[in-house]
Amino acid sequence: MEKSELIRIRKKLEKTQKELAAILGISLQAVRSYEQGTRTIPGHVERQVIFILCQKDDTLSSARSCWDVKKCPPEQREHCPAWEFNCGTLCWFINGTICECSAKENWQDKMTVCRNCEVLATILNNE
């Protein structure tokens, strides 16, 4: 997550840096550092911020499941945590999902795939 995206989401949530820090359970200085670009935004913070955004916008209620978007065959679905836990609209939230036919090694690689997917784009671009 880039600092500009964090700032945009925080403003969309109508939260101050201090309020966002309290919601995320982190320090005000951490939020300031992320927004100034002096610290990298960790995956757990990115994950929480996007989750809060989708809850506020209620985008999950109208979103399509990832297996429908990606047209995953049944044999692939059966090995994917998103399918196993019936989280087709929260696939971006769960590590180990089998997008592009393989689970990604780390959060950054996973989010590179997710940011090019309609499921997450629906949440991030919902204005």
Q: In this structure, which amino acid lies at residue 92?
A: W
Q: Dump pLDDT digits (tens) for 30-62.
A: 999 999 999 999 999 999 999 999 888 777 777
- Report residue 72 as tokens: 């995953």
What does 12-62 look like in DSSP terms, one character per residue?
HTT--HHHHHHHHTS-HHHHHHHHHTSSPPPHHHHHHHHHHHHHHHTGGGT
* CATH number for region 1-49: 1.10.260.40
Inform me whether the pLDDT recorded for 126 exceeds 80: no
CATH 1.10.260.40 boundaries in the chain:
1-49
Q: What is the pLDDT of residue 32?
A: 98
- Mean pLDDT within 106-125: 87
User: CA 86, CA 65: separation in Å to the nearest integer?
Assistant: 9
